Structure 1
Amino acid sequence: MLRYFRPGLATLLLFLLPAGFPASGQTPDADTAPLREVHAEGEKLLTEAQIIAITGLVAGAQIGRNDLQTAANRLVQTGLFAKVSFNFQSKVTGILVTYHVEESPRIPVYFDNIPWFTDSA
């Protein structure tokens, strides 16, 4: 009896062992999630849609924390914002992110005494 038990147990384990480990190619990366909503707060001269367009984030895309930081860096690199911060919430349906911006002051520039333009133009 013991003579047939060991090969049977070994065969059973051989078939059941791979079923316990999911294939890594079938599961999405745990560090990313789908982006559901992007919002911007603190805008004065630009609209929320314009700020979101600058970030380059698209709803439905798989994103990670580095992507959120890269989008914040894009906002800062425009020079339009003095301060940029963001917070995000992980939900079952995806990530909700809000960028908090403080626009830089804008200074009007006037050019005077340009020889090829007349004052009437």
Structure 2
Amino acid sequence: MRSALLAIRDRLDRAGILLSGLCAVHCVLGVVLVGVLGLGGEALLAPEIHRIGLGLALGVGLVSLGFGVLRHGRIAPLVIGGLGLSLMAAALLVGHGLPEAVLTILGVALVALAHIRNLHAAC
């Protein structure tokens, strides 16, 4: 049973890394396609996409990073991930544009780093 729970937590960390990467790609493509080419603004910059992404990041992050602390006792991944999630939440408040993209990309980079550190700490 314990090994099954650990496998689920590892999968959640990997999912968190994948979601972070997809979010960063979305932000960069959004800035390029909308800012430079004027394409896809309604779909790429829809507030619902950002709220749903933040909700997924919060759920995956809190579960996997929280379980990581319980497993290996290191709080650093949870703190790093919390800071990243805070930056992502702040990005929702600044409106669309470069500040939002910068906050989001920094946030997802920190969340991905937290998941990576969580996986390494569990080894």
Q: TM-score, normalised by structure 2?
A: 0.30
| Structure number with higher relative contact order (C-alpha < 8 Å, ≥ 6 residues apart) | 2
Greater gyration radius: 1
Greater share of residues in strand: 1
Greater share of residues in helix: 2
Q: TM-score, normalised by structure 1?
A: 0.30
